[in-house]
Amino acid sequence: MLWYVLRRLVYILPILFGVSLVCFSLLHLAPGDPMTAVMPEFGSEELIEQIKRSYGFDQPLPVQYFRWLLAVLSGDLGTSIVQDRPVWNELAPALVNTFQLAVFGVAISLVAGIGLGLLAGYTRRLVADRAITTTAIVGVSVPHYWVGLVLIAIFAVSLGWLPAMGKAPPSDAFGFDDVRYMILPAITLALIPTGIIARSVRATVIDVRKHEFVQTLHANGLPQRRIFLHVVKNASPTVLAIIGIQLGHLVGGSILVETVFAWPGTGYLLNNAIATRDLPLLQGTILVLATFFVLLNFLVDLAQPFLDPRMKRH
């Protein structure tokens, strides 16, 4: 088992290195200088040089990369150019907000996706299956940021039941008001994972039910309910993998939904970073989110053999 963990670790290290390279180059992809946004327009050559030097932009790129990497590894993500505050100070509260929303969203999509998927997997060739498959396709195709707008139009504007945007004002305890603000964005976020989870649960259930051991269980006279447990147990590794990846997508891909709902998370932060061309903030946020995504996949990989002993062999 330890061997397996080590091997997975060796596999993700180069990927993390690559991710850091991509994030580093984001700053230098931009036309002109990363500092263009904040340079004084009529500053003297000397002043501009001085600013560049203070940020280390006068060094050759490889040197800049290793300096940056060392700083990142020691927890320093750089300084936001526009806010002139450490990127981490901006990022930390946003991460908390994004996680709150993502966990809520994943919970919704788990219940809805697994429910729909099992229903479709068990009622194959029936109308229900057709309907659920179509729903899943629409769920995957729909522009989720637009669904957010539609939900606002219905539940906030027309019915006035729920707040349209933002986060509940800070209070001592996490209460009903916080949930009220989270319902619409969480449902919106849950939409795509629900479609994907439903689709793969359906496919996996159908696949597992074709196996001979299920027929044997039937032949042995096991009641449907018990066979169902066997099917669930065999389908769980695949479903777990998909859920892990979807959680990563929710955290990393929430930018559009957070922008629609003005939810003060990482997505909203990214949107502001783009609008103000605050490249260090953009870079730091993307680095943290991508690293989280890689580590999450790593954890899913580690968890798989526990659920499915067959995978231990390789």
Partner 1 sequence: MARRTTYVDETLTPQIAGGRTRIQRTYWQAARRRLVRDPVSMGCISILSLMVAAAIFAPWITPHDPYVTSIVNRLKPVGTPGYLLGTDELGRDMLTRLIYGGRISLLMGLLPIAVATLFGSVLGVVAGYFGGKTNMIIMRVADVFFAFPSVLLAVGLAGALGAGVVNVLISLSLVFIPPITRVAEAATTQIRTQDFVEAARATGASAPRIIIGHVMTNVSSPILTYASSLIGLSIVLASGLSFLGLGMSPPLADWGLMLNTLRQSIYLAPVNAVLPGVMILIASVCFNLLSDGLRTAMDVKP
Residues that bind partner 1 (CB under 8 A): 14-16, 18-19, 21-23, 26-27, 29-31, 137-138, 140-143, 145-147, 149-150, 152-154, 157-158, 164, 248-249, 251-253, 255-256, 259-260, 270-271, 273-275, 277, 279, 282-283, 286, 289-290, 293-294, 297
Nearer to partner 1, 140 or 168 (CB): 140
Cα–Cα distances (Å) from 242 to 96, 194, 197, 201, in that order, read 23, 11, 7, 9
Nearer to partner 1, 18 or 93 (CB): 18
* 216/124 Cα distance (integer angstroms): 20
CB of 175 to partner 1, least distance (A): 27
SS3 per residue for 187-223: HHHHHHHHHHHHHHHHHHHHHHHHCHHHHHHHHCCCC
CB of 102 to partner 1, least distance (A): 11
CB of 1 to partner 1, least distance (A): 24
DSSP conformational letter for 14: H
Nearer to partner 1, 104 or 258 (CB): 258
CB of 103 to partner 1, least distance (A): 16
Q: What amino acid is encoded at 230 in this protein?
A: H
Nearer to partner 1, 78 or 248 (CB): 248
DSSP secondary structure string for all residues of 150-185: HHIIIIIIIS--S--SS-PPP-SS--HHHHHHHHHH
CB of 308 to partner 1, least distance (A): 21
Residue found by looking up tokens 């976020």 in the block: 189
User: Residues near 305 by Cβ (< 8 Å), separated by ≥ 6?
Assistant: 1, 4, 311, 312
Nearer to partner 1, 118 or 164 (CB): 164
